[in-house]
A and B are shown apart, each in its own frame.
Chain A
């Protein structure tokens, strides 16, 4: 099976940088996804890492270390609209169905 851990809540200031960590344990790893979810809405795709290293996309970057079972999502120049839950999800072959397993999510509150 899979086990995914991420902090429950984080608070940061508008304009600052925040890093949301995710650790996972899985067999047959096939990529790690980050999704953003605003309250009452469906998740929206942010990033995908399958190889080690940093993927940058505008204000958002995601890092992966497969040997450490570790990823982080970095949000720069925080805006109030970035207040949302951030979900770490792992694709693993042992699911047999190419399904994703989601972490519990990190609720980020951006303050003025």
Chain B
């Protein structure tokens, strides 16, 4: 149980275009999903917290107009990188908390999406 999928696993796009990444909880309902970014040999940096049916909460320094997050259902959140630039190239990972998690902080991670902007 507690499986989270991401699509696509890898994407290469040209500078100036937009890319959408999907994060799905496959066997549980996730009221909260998190989006992280990880640069090579660095740790995960939280970008935003996504709650079903409401606006995402962005971490300081993350441009909400550039990284659009939509959490339309209890099993799907999407991250759209708009007007991508080479410096946006990174490993993007989503995670989800189980609806039944209560006060739990445990998160289940997706397999990640490697974005390369040329």
Taking Cβ atoms with an 8 Å cutoff, the residues of A that contact B are 30-31, 33, 35, 40-45, 48, 87, 91, 97-105, 107
Contact = CB atoms under 8 A, between A and B. Distances in A.
- Interface residue range, chain B: 20 to 34
Contact of B44 (A31, A44, A102): A102
B69 to A, nearest CB: 13
Contacts of A103: 43
**A interface: dominant SS:** strand
B44 A87 contact: yes
A31 B111 CA distance: 24
Contacts of A107: 41
A102 B91 contact: no
A98 B32 contact: yes
A98 B46 contact: no
A98 B105 contact: yes
14 contacts: A30-B103, A30-B105, A33-B106, A40-B91, A40-B114, A43-B93, A91-B105, A97-B32, A98-B32, A98-B105, A99-B46, A101-B46, A105-B42, A105-B43
A44 B105 contact: no
